[in-house]
Amino acid sequence: MESLHYFAAMFDSLDDCLPLESAERLSIEKKHLGKEIKSVINFDKDEEDSESFPSYEKVEAWKNRMESHGFEGMKLSSKCLIQAKLLLKITTHYSPLQCEGDVNGGFRVFERDEAKALSLGWQYRCLLTASAWQCV
């Protein structure tokens, strides 16, 4: 279900970012999202190969996995959030940028886990999260 919600948000965000017939949008849909969806659909849960495991899990699952292997999250500089918001504002043409806490529509950038992670979201759904880890 997590993958379904993720891809639905990705396609919804494309609707507001790129015209339906744009070559850039078609390329993203075919070369990136299409391949990812195909790999999720073809994923065999009984297979032991961890390389083929889809990576559409909640941040909490990744955090638990990293911590169980002896890593701890590093606090990100406040400059990271400012830069991410600036980059998003520069590259967001069709859709309004949302401020933190405002989830009525559009893209948003926000801190998570006591500033140890930075996420890009579309409306209520997190699309991508970046974090830094160090060995304890």
Strand duo 97-98 + 125-131: pairing: unpaired
Give pLDDT, residue 6.
86
Summarised one tens digit per residue, pLDDT across range 78-110 is 999 999 988 888 776 555 555 555 444 588 899
Give pLDDT, residue 119.
93
Give pLDDT, residue 106.
83
Domain assignment of residue 110, given as a range: 2-135
Q: What is the DSSP string of 20-56?
A: TT-HHHHHIIIIIIHHHHHHHHT--TT---GGGS---
Identify the segments of the chain with pLDDT beneath 50.
50, 52-53, 102-104
Domain count, the chain: 1
pTM: 0.71
Give pLDDT, residue 71.
97
Write the DSSP symbol of residue 57: -
Give pLDDT, residue 50.
47
